Amino acid sequence: MNAISKREQNTKGLPSAMIWGYIATLIFMVGDGLEHGWLSPYLIEHGLTVQQSSTLFAAYGAILAIASYFSGVLTEAWGPRKVMIAGLVIWLVGQILFIEYGLKPHNYAVMLPTYAIRGFGYPLFCYSFLVWVTYRSPERILATAIGLFWAAWSGGLYVVGSYFPAYMIPKIGYIGLMWSAVVWVLIGGLIGVVVVKGQVHEREGNGKEKLKNLLSGLTICIEKPKIAIGGVVRIINSTGVGALPIFFPLYLSSEYGYSTEEWLQIWGTMWVANISFNLVIPYISDKWLGWRKTIMWIGSFGCGVMTLVMLYTPQMFGHNFWALTVVGIFFGIVLCGYVPLSALVSSLAPEKKGSAMAIVSFGAGMSYFIAPAIVGTFIGSMGVHGVMWIFAGLYFVSAILMIFMKLPGEEKQNKSNYSPEKQVG
Q: What mean pLDDT comes out for the span 62-71?
A: 85
Q: Which CATH code fits 17-196+214-405?
A: 1.20.1250.20
Model-level pTM? 0.75
Alpha carbons 126 and 120: distance in angstroms, whole number: 11
Residue 323: the pLDDT is 97
pLDDT at residue 206 is higher than 70: no
pLDDT at residue 155 is higher than 90: no
Residue 210 identity (one-letter amino acid): K
Q: What is the mean pLDDT of the chain?
A: 85
On whether the CB atoms of residues 131 and 75 are closer than 8 A, the answer is: yes
For residues 340-367, one letter each, b for 16 or more C-beta atoms within 10 angstroms of the residue's C-beta and e for the rest, the string is: bbbbbbbbbbeebbbbbbbbbbbbbbbb
pLDDT at residue 191 is higher than 80: yes
Q: Which residue has the higher pLDDT, 151 or 96?
A: 96
177's enclosing H/E stretch is helix 161-195
pLDDT at residue 352 is higher than 70: yes
State the pLDDT confidence band at 230, using cuts at 50, 70 and 90: very high
Q: For 47, left (φ over 0), alpha (ψ -120 to 50), or beta?
A: left
Alpha carbons 143 and 281: distance in angstroms, whole number: 10
Residue 261: the pLDDT is 84
Q: Where are the domains of the chain?
A: 17-196+214-405
